[in-house]
Amino acid sequence: MPDTVTVPADPYPFAFDPARAALLVIDMQRDFVEPGGFGETLGNDVGLLRAVIPPLQAALVATRAAGITVIHTREGHLPDLSDCPPAKLRRGEPTLRIGDPGPKGRILVRGEYGHDIIGELAPADGELVIDKPGKGSFYATGLDETLRSRGIESLVVTGVTTEVCVHTTVREANDRGYECLVLADCVGSYFPDFQRHGLAMIAAQGGIFGWVATSGQYLKALS
Ligand code: C5J
């Protein structure tokens, strides 16, 4: 691998050192992507997120082959829900609330089948899995310390959902000084409009939060 990889991107090319980069795979959990989980209890068509899986599988294969760090996240709560703010528990009018028993186990609770990452994108041995109680990957996790201790400065961001956990994470990362490249076809939303506008918001104003490229552009740059 060269010292610098440059990916054509919006609003301008994204250059990163593979030894100082990580691919972040956000919340590719059954609870968001499969029927019977948290996403569906909120009234969403979870099928819309499945388009992310094949390009993300290809990005993972190429990232691992390039020796770049891979980190997965999972949104969810302790079985006693002590890390779930009452406001989050009360929010909305879901068919099942966080902690209720559902077809894939208790909704959004750590250790349950529905909380885990889908088989198609299962973490490889040695890859970090960060459990987070919020939408952002930095809030109440050790992610910042983990990245700093490994000298990571650039994040290639994938996962779901674009306008919620991906956006929150990219904003958190940007404020902490990380440079983020979001792979447009490797992030997904239940709302096609939010997908489009969410990506546009990241790259607008000269890359106010980061850069956006396709997985094809990323793969070509890695090869
Ligand atoms: C949501 C997420 N949408 N991973 N979580 O509640 O985006």
What would the DSSP string read from start to end of 10-44?
BSS-EEE-GGGEEEEEE--BHHHHSTTSHHHHTT-
Residue in the structure block whose two tokens are 């691919």: 23
27, 31, 116, 185: the active-site residue: 27
The structure tokens listed for 46 are: 């979870």
Instruction: Select from 75, 116, 121 the residue to mutate for testing ligand 1; criterion: most ligand atoms less than 8 Å from CB.
Output: 75
The answer, yes or no, to whether any atom of ligand 1 lies below 6 A from the CB of 27, is: yes
Q: Which residues of 188-200 are buried (b: 16+ CB within 10 A; e: fewer)?
A: bbbeeebbeebbe
Percent of the chain with pLDDT over 90: 99
**Can you give the pLDDT at residue 1?**
79
The mean pLDDT of the chain is: 98
pLDDT per residue over 6-60, tens digit each?
Answer: 999 999 999 999 999 999 999 999 999 999 999 999 999 999 999 999 999 999 9
Is pTM beyond 0.85? Reply is yes
Question: Would you call 155 exposed, middle or buried from its count of C-beta atoms within 10 A (0-12, 13-18, 19+)?
Answer: buried
Residue whose Cα lies nearest atom 2 of ligand 1: it is: 165
Say whether 84 is catalytic: no
**Peptide linkage before 4 cis (omega within 30 of 0):** no
Antiparallel, parallel or unpaired: β 179-188 and 154-160: parallel
For residue 96, which of 36, 158, 29 has the smallest C-alpha distance? 36
Residue 2, pLDDT above cutoff 90: no
